[in-house]
């Protein structure tokens, strides 16, 4: 199975999982990967040690936040179907569809950084949640326009609760 892993908004690596091997950008990767607990992993690559944690996972939109040592990286995954559709000049989702932005975990809404009608760019902060005594920024995965805000600062929200609606640009 092949994946395109997009990070820092414009950098990407093609990852292929084949016969229990990891191939990165066409090169065999000699990586030692150990699953520690739940979303925590340990990787040794070229004698360097990395602690990895999946901080946020949105499987529907294929967006994730991965903590590597002490730095959090937002990433977007494209699978083989996404890559094929892109090659064909098509998108897996219609261009002007509505999307719900949902709480990735239960928490307290600290700040809403956007207003209804505001145009936002991929990666812009939408809402700041507090969960497990940490702040989490919820970012927009692509250029969009805020259509509706369904929560308020100070509100306790549940995992999966709709926080706001956006219309893709």
Tokens of 128: 């700041």
Q: What is the pLDDT of residues 117-146, one digit of tens each?
A: 999 998 888 999 998 888 888 888 788 899
Cα–Cα distance between 123 and 163 in angstroms, integer?
Answer: 17
- Residue 115 lies inside a defined structural domain of this protein: yes
Query: Quick one: 109 and 54 in the same domain?
Result: no
Tokens of 16: 């292929």
Last residue of a domain, one of 18, 52, 82: 82
Cα–Cα distance between 56 and 39 in angstroms, integer?
Answer: 10
Last residue of a domain, one of 49, 82, 115: 82
Task: Compute the 3-state secondary structure of the chain and give helix, strand, coil in percent, each to the nearest 5.
Answer: 5, 60, 35
Higher-pLDDT residue of 94, 52: 52
Contact 94, 167 (CB under 8 A): no
- Count the Cβ atoms, other than its own, within 10 Å of residue 157: 21
Query: Quick one: 74 and 102 in the same domain?
Result: no
CATH number of the domain that residue 115 is part of: 2.40.50.100
Query: Quick one: 69 and 100 in the same domain?
Result: no
pLDDT for the residue 93? 45
pLDDT at residue 86 is higher than 90: no
Range from 72-76, 89-93, 119-123, 163-167 carrying the lowest mean pLDDT: 89-93
Query: Quick one: 119 and 142 in the same domain?
Result: yes
pTM of the model: 0.49
Average pLDDT over the chain reads 85
Query: Quick one: 48 and 110 in the same domain?
Result: no
Query: Quick one: 102 and 153 in the same domain?
Result: yes
pLDDT at residue 99 is higher than 80: no
- Residue 49 lies inside a defined structural domain of this protein: yes
What mean pLDDT comes out for the span 31-51?
89
Query: Quick one: 75 and 101 in the same domain?
Result: no
Contact 167, 147 (CB under 8 A): yes
What mean pLDDT comes out for the span 97-114?
85
Total structural domains in the chain? 2
Query: Quick one: 118 and 158 in the same domain?
Result: yes
- Residue 90 lies inside a defined structural domain of this protein: no
Tokens of 46: 């070229």
Q: What is the pLDDT of residues 4-31, one digit of tens each?
A: 898 877 788 998 888 778 888 999 888 8
Query: Quick one: 42 and 64 in the same domain?
Result: yes
Alpha-carbon separation of residue 147 from 6, 99, 126 (angstroms): 27, 10, 12
The boundaries of the domain holding residue 62 are 2-82
pLDDT at residue 62 is higher than 90: no
């Amino acid at each position: 199975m092949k994946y395109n892993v997009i990070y820092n908004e414009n950098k990407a690596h093609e990852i292929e999982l084949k016969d229990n091997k990891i191939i990165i950008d066409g090169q065999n990767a000699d990586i030692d990967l150990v699953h520690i607990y739940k979303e925590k992993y340990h990787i040794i690559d070229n004698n360097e040690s990395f602690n990895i944690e999946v901080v946020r996972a949105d499987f529907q939109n294929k967006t994730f936040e991965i903590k590597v040592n002490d730095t959090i990286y937002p990433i977007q995954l494209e699978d083989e179907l996404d890559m094929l559709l892109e090659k064909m000049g098509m998108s897996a989702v219609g261009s002007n569809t509505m999307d719900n932005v949902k709480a990735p975990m239960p928490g307290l809404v600290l700040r809403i950084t956007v207003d209804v009608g505001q145009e936002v760019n991929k990666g812009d902060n939408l809402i700041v949640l507090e969960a497990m005594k940490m702040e989490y920024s919820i970012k927009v995965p692509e250029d969009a326009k805020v259509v509706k805000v369904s929560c308020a600062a100070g509100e306790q929200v549940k995992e999966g609760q709709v926080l706001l609606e956006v219309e893709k640009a």
